Amino acid sequence: MRLVRTLTLPTEDLLEAVSPLPEGIRAGVWDLVGEPKGLDYAEIDAVVLPYATRGSWQQGLERVPNLVLLQAQSTGYDGLPEVVGSGVAIATAAGVHVAGTAELAVALILASLRGVDDAVRNAANGVWDSRRYPGLADRRVLLVGVGGIGTAIAQRLAPFEVELTRVGSRARTDETGPVHGTDELVTLAADAEVLVVITPLSEDTHHLINREVLAALPDGALVVNVARGPVVDTAALTDEVLSGRLHAALDVVDPEPLPAGHPLWGAPNAIITPHVGGNTEAFVPRIHKLLKEQVGRLARGDEPVNLVRRGPWA
């Protein structure tokens, strides 16, 4: 049964990427801010969301009376169920951002543990300060999140000869070994020199890395967040970083963007990147491939990939 016959894409480039369209599928261009081109609101069955921005999505989507599917260009989908009716399916771009986010996680770890941030600041001031940094080899790494990106981070950490402990939503054993449950976080944190966070944001993971978990980390430990800002208690982390006890390397924060004047901006033991984990040149061909596949599946009446809320495909 074919549920989607029309869709909008946020840019002309994405429309070109999925063209020629399969027989029976029509498409228009709509950035959810202006008016759709090529389709009327009442004709739209599926909407591909813009990348990275969340401006006026709800207001725009409220104009689409017959929406069947909401397609994100992100791996996370926090906030999306709240902007559409319960009968609307939601699909993510899971897989598209894996390589980029995993490489940034490792880059942030290395930059902090090898003092690259200090070297950049020193270079700007003409200061030569040669000293010993912890490095990544032989570090005890606690990885919170064992999905696609978490698995990719684990694979990339293997050549660095770390002692890796993985944490998922529940304790289990998978094809690569034991996975601990989140109920063990405080105990596990006490032995972790690097804590890497790459778990989806949900009611269960909001402030999963809370004041108690952070307090359990040893002095000098590094907290790396490439997940979503609210998974970590920003106030608690800020206190630990400003005290000098912990280091942080953050691609995501809460709130986001981090307000001007926030104390983390000036903390010498914090590295902050502006939520660019999956935003590399590798993203473009990968999102094109995913959307092309998705349009083909919709044309054939097949179930879309990466459904996180099934809607009419339930």
Calpha distance 285→5 (Å, rounded):
24
Alpha helices in the chain (DSSP H): 12-18, 57-61, 98-113, 116-124, 148-157, 185-189, 211-216, 234-242, 283-300
* CA trace torsion 178, 100, 282, 19 (10° rounding): 70
256 is catalytic: yes
Cα–Cα separations (whole angstroms), residue 245 to 90, 107, 139, 269, 301: 41, 22, 17, 9, 55
Show Cβ contacts of residue 241 under 8 Å, excluding neighbours closer than 6 positions.
247, 248, 264, 267, 269, 270
Per-residue exposure over 220-248, b if at least 16 CB sit within 10 Å of its own CB, e if not: ebbbbbbbbbbbbbbebbbbbbeeebbbb
Of residues 43, 103, 163, 256, which has the active-site annotation?
256
Task: Please classify residue 90 by burial: count the beta carbons closer than 10 Å to its beta carbon, then call 0-12 exposed, 13-18 middle and 19+ buried.
Answer: buried
Joined tokens for residue 189? 């944190």
Of residues 180, 247, 275, 286, which has the active-site annotation?
275
132 is catalytic: no
Counting every residue, how long is the chain? Answer: 314
26 is catalytic: no
Of residues 97, 228, 247, 286, which has the active-site annotation?
228
Calpha distance 192→141 (Å, rounded):
6
H or E, element range at 143 = strand 140-144
> Could you list the active site residues?
228, 256, 275
